[in-house]
Amino acid sequence: MVSSSHEALHRVFQKDPALLTRALRRVLHVPFPEPREFAVLNADLTETEPVERRVDTLMRVETDEGAYLLVVESQGKPDEGKRGSWPYYLSYLYAKYRCEPVLIVITQSSTTARWAAQPIRLGLPGWHSLTVRPLVLGPDNVPVITDEREAERDVPLAVLSAMTHGRGRQAAPILESLAAALRTIDSESAAVFVAFVDSCLVDPQAKQIWRDLMAAIHYFFRHPVAEQVRDEGREEGRVEERAEMTLRILDWRGIGVPEAVRARVESCTDPDQLTAWAERALHVTDAAQLFRED
């Protein structure tokens, strides 16, 4: 299971390497050639024992115009040390592989994105020996995907949207559209994406929204995050949790809950019925529609 947002932000590209080149073309409008083949490479750039240098994710992509090395760095906050290490990474990789390196920085912070986008210029003023211009993916340019159909068209990009914008006010609609889109792909891939998103949601309310949404999707019950959610209460607690989850989803979606509806949900003791209501809560436009099939 992914243990931190730092790991998830770059490992999502290992799960779907083509997402990276799609993001470069769609988000940053970089005319990157159409890829034919990807290979994830060893990210360790250490040369000698005293100094260890390691990039987060390193991939080689073959195109009709030649091979490129995609160097992905997950960045939580500004770090002036990277002004020295990033040029080193690119120079070392070019010397080792003899193909063009491309530095991509992924972040959840607008402040960090602005910092990372600043060119690194080494040498004399007006006569730079080396210039590094990172390509930056962050909250200011990654699309906010709140439409279910758009999320279904490109699930990995919807995952990146949730990971990047998960701390903002728009978190709930982003997570809802992604939860629906995950039903359209295989459960193994969905479980990996679920873990990535769960690791990146630092806002407690957003994380709870995500876990409630996932608890309503059956395939997710086999994932460790869902097992943690399920094990917290067992049978009696599970019933109470499902009832609260149904009402929370309606509340997050801005749907008013009459007292009669609330009382019926809270008095229900059937976990399967509560699961069905939680799933319907993702789509209904009126709270009474929870019971339309009863």
d(CA 286, CA 185): 29
Q: What is the per-residue pLDDT across 17-74, written as a single tens digit (0 to 9) for each? A: 888 888 888 888 888 888 888 877 777 766 544 445 678 888 999 998 899 999 999 9
What pTM, to 2 d.p., does this model score?
Answer: 0.67
CB atoms within 10 A of CB 61: 23
For residue range 119-146, list pLDDT tens digits in order.
999 988 888 889 999 999 999 999 999 9
Give the Cα separation of 51 and 38 in Å (integer): 29
More confident residue, 117 or 51: 117
Q: Specify the amino acid at residue 30.
A: V
User: Above 70 in pLDDT, residue 91?
Assistant: yes
The pLDDT value given to residue 223: 53
83 neighbors 120 (Cβ within 8 angstroms):
yes
Range with the poorest average pLDDT among 1-10, 30-39, 67-76, 153-162:
1-10
**Among candidates 57, 74, 44, 65, which has minimal Cα distance to 16?**
57
Tell me how far apart the alpha carbons of residues 3 and 204 are, in angstroms, rounded to a whole number. Answer: 16
